[in-house]
């Protein structure tokens, strides 16, 4: 539309994003898989509390949007229930990101890298830009714009164990909430059962198709929990049940520290493990047939409440991708996350552009907010709490009290811990610009964690990926969605009743 666009990222563009890590599968109605199949499967997976109008957009627009990726230079192959990036699972992320970066450069998009968005510049008339922390210089500056699209990804890093890149800290959710948008479905996080849990190694996905899972008592966990399918099927079809079984074993003290053993016995790894696990064995220097595993936070279903045009309910503010809630309901179907980014990315871009065409840059005074961020940095020169320790404390508590298995007592304890951490974070110590980045992230993580914990406490049932041991069943009375807003710095919540 002839507008000037800045693409901003905390890291070099495309790095430190989940998209770089993907297996490369998109779900869409191709071949005999119809749009109705896609719609019904998505609702069934989401346990019927998805935003149906968003799901309708997803399934209707997915095939044409995916084919369009080829025009941007992506090597896209069509499969049976969707499409996949043809560069192979280990480099699919790069195969998707690289051509899009090249295309964006070609059409004159300006890249602003190593810059963290701290806050939206907002007044009664809407959003007018961002306050930005420039990591290399340590400067905090305003960037004014006619509209903004938040596509900052999810918040899985609030959990100690997550396969997401370390910068996925929920900044977009925190910024949107403070600017007057709403967050929805925040209690729903997808956990993948088989994450690596070897000491000193990252908790990345580590699936196998055929292996035994052994606890400290030497029991076969799959037999104990009466899983009768092959492991390869269990990790796809019974991801929640399996994650819960593993978490319970560890919780009951039957783990090896905080893990269980996955034993492929004398089987050939290249037959019983996918390429991604074999790759990790190589690059991380693992050996033998027994590996420590535990569930890992993989995807966050909750996020910013948007309409079909990706408006976040504040004039000039749009959002797309994992930062949003609604498409996936209580659990996400494989391949739908990438499809969501492509379908709603296009919609958000179009909406933000249309808005920008009829609005002006408004340089509202934001010196007070910049000053308050600067004050946080100045004060932390002499703080007494180590930023890494605080971050660990939050992530460990979120994992323990709000991880795969939750209950009312644990969640109430967690809220107290978050309150205490909110006090400590005001006395955190920052020794470098990198520490400053971590401090700003932690403040967002604390806000998002609080919302996740309260939302989990309010939903007194188990649905999809949200499991409450004190309310273990799904209840029809809970066919509703919980949203959070913020007014004058205070959180409030309400329900969206599904009709």
Ligand X SMILES: Cc1cc2nc3c(=O)[nH]c(=O)nc-3n(C[C@H](O)[C@H](O)[C@H](O)COP(=O)(O)OP(=O)(O)OC[C@H]3O[C@@H](n4cnc5c(N)ncnc54)[C@H](O)[C@@H]3O)c2cc1C
Binding site for ligand X (CB under 6 A): 8-11, 16-19, 21-25, 116-117, 151-153, 163-164, 167-168, 171-172, 205, 298-299, 321-323, 335-338, 341
Nearest-approach distance from CB 386 to ligand X, in angstroms: 22
- Three-class DSSP labels, 149-218: EECCCCCHHHCCCECCCCCCCCHHHHHHHHCCCCEECCCCEEEEEEEECCCCCCCCECCCCCCEEECCCC
Reference 274, options 206, 329, 321; nearest CA is 206
- Helix %, strand %, coil % of the chain (to 5): 40, 20, 35
Nearer to ligand X, 212 or 279 (CB): 279
Side-chain-facing half-sphere of 132: CA atoms under 13 Å: 20
Nearest-approach distance from CB 234 to ligand X, in angstroms: 18
Nearer to ligand X, 58 or 222 (CB): 58
- For residue 261, give both structure tokens: 């053993």
Nearest-approach distance from CB 4 to ligand X, in angstroms: 18
Nearest-approach distance from CB 486 to ligand X, in angstroms: 18
Task: Check: CB of residue 203 under 8 Å from CB of residue 163.
Answer: yes
Nearer to ligand X, 58 or 337 (CB): 337
Reference 426, options 483, 379, 474; nearest CA is 379
- Distance in angstroms (rounded) separating the CA atoms of residues 350 and 5: 12
Nearer to ligand X, 20 or 415 (CB): 20
Reference 466, options 252, 275, 297, 338; nearest CA is 297
Nearer to ligand X, 222 or 323 (CB): 323
- Distance in angstroms (rounded) separating the CA atoms of residues 93 and 102: 14
Nearer to ligand X, 175 or 418 (CB): 175
Nearest-approach distance from CB 461 to ligand X, in angstroms: 25
Nearest-approach distance from CB 120 to ligand X, in angstroms: 11
Beta-carbon contacts of 246 under 8 Å, excluding residues fewer than 6 positions away, are: 193, 213, 221, 260, 293, 294, 295, 404
- Distance in angstroms (rounded) separating the CA atoms of residues 122 and 142: 12
Q: What is the dihedral of CA 410, 412, 418, 423, to 10 degrees?
A: -140
Beta-carbon contacts of 13 under 8 Å, excluding residues fewer than 6 positions away, are: 7, 101, 111, 113
Nearest-approach distance from CB 338 to ligand X, in angstroms: 3
Beta-carbon contacts of 172 under 8 Å, excluding residues fewer than 6 positions away, are: 117, 150, 151, 152, 153, 303, 304, 319, 323
- Distance in angstroms (rounded) separating the CA atoms of residues 153 and 324: 8
Nearest-approach distance from CB 9 to ligand X, in angstroms: 4
Nearer to ligand X, 215 or 311 (CB): 311
Nearest residue to ligand X, by Cβ distance, number only: 321
Nearer to ligand X, 209 or 225 (CB): 209
Question: Positive or negative CA dihedral for 247, 251, 257, 258?
Answer: positive
Reference 292, options 403, 216, 402, 210; nearest CA is 216
Nearest-approach distance from CB 335 to ligand X, in angstroms: 5
Nearer to ligand X, 23 or 383 (CB): 23
- Distance in angstroms (rounded) separating the CA atoms of residues 291 and 214: 10
Nearer to ligand X, 298 or 481 (CB): 298
Nearest-approach distance from CB 17 to ligand X, in angstroms: 3
Nearer to ligand X, 196 or 272 (CB): 196
Nearest-approach distance from CB 475 to ligand X, in angstroms: 28
């Amino acid at each position: 539309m002839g507008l000037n666009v800045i693409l901003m990222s905390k890291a070099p563009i495309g790095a430190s994003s989940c998209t770089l890590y993907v297996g490369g599968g998109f779900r869409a109605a191709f071949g005999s898989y119809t749009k109705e199949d896609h719609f019904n499967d998505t609702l069934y997976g989401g346990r019927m509390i998805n935003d149906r109008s968003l799901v309708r957009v997803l399934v209707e627009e997915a095939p044409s949007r995916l084919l369009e990726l080829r025009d941007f230079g992506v090597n896209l192959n069509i499969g049976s229930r969707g499409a996949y990036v043809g560069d192979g699972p280990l480099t699919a992320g790069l195969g998707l990101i690289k051509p899009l970066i090249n295309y964006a450069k070609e059409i004159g998009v300006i890249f602003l890298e190593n810059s963290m968005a701290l806050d939206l510049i907002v007044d009664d008339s809407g959003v007018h830009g961002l306050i930005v922390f420039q990591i290399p210089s340590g400067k905090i500056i305003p960037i004014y714009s006619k509209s903004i699209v938040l596509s900052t990804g999810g918040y899985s890093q609030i959990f100690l164990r997550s396969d997401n890149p370390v910068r996925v800290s929920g900044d977009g959710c925190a910024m949107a909430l403070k600017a007057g948008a709403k967050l929805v479905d925040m209690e729903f996080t997808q956990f993948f059962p088989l994450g690596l849990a070897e000491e000193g190694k990252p908790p990345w996905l580590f699936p196998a198709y055929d292996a035994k899972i052994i606890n400290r008592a030497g029991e076969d966990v799959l037999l104990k929990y009466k899983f009768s399918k092959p492991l390869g099927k269990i990790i796809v079809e019974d991801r929640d049940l399996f994650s819960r079984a593993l978490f319970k074993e560890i919780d009951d003290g039957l783990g090896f520290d905080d893990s269980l053993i996955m034993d492929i016995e004398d089987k050939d790894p290249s037959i019983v493990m996918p390429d991604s696990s074999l790759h990790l064995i190589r690059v991380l220097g693992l050996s033998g047939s027994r590996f420590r595993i535990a569930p890992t936070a993989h995807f966050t279903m909750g996020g910013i409440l948007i309409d079909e045009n990706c408006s976040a309910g504040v004039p000039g503010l749009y959002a797309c991708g994992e930062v949003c809630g609604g498409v996936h309901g209580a659990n996400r179907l494989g391949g739908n996350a990438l499809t969501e980014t492509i379908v709603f990315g296009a919609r958000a871009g179009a909406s933000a552009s249309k808005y920008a065409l009829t609005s002006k840059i408004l340089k509202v005074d934001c010196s007070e907010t910049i000053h308050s961020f600067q004050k946080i940095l100045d004060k932390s020169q002499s703080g007494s709490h180590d930023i890494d320790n605080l971050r660990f404390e939050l992530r460990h508590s979120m994992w323990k009290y709000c991880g795969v298995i939750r209950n009312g007592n644990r969640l109430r304890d967690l809220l107290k811990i978050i309150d205490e951490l909110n006090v400590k974070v005001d006395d955190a110590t920052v020794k470098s610009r990198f520490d400053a980045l971590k401090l700003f992230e932690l403040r967002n993580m604390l806000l998002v964690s609080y919302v996740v914990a309260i939302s989990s406490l309010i939903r007194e049932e188990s649905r999809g990926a949200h499991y409450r041991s004190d309310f273990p069943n799904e209840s029809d009375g809970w066919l509703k969605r919980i949203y959070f807003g913020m007014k004058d710095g205070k959180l409030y919540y309400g329900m969206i009743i599904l009709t």
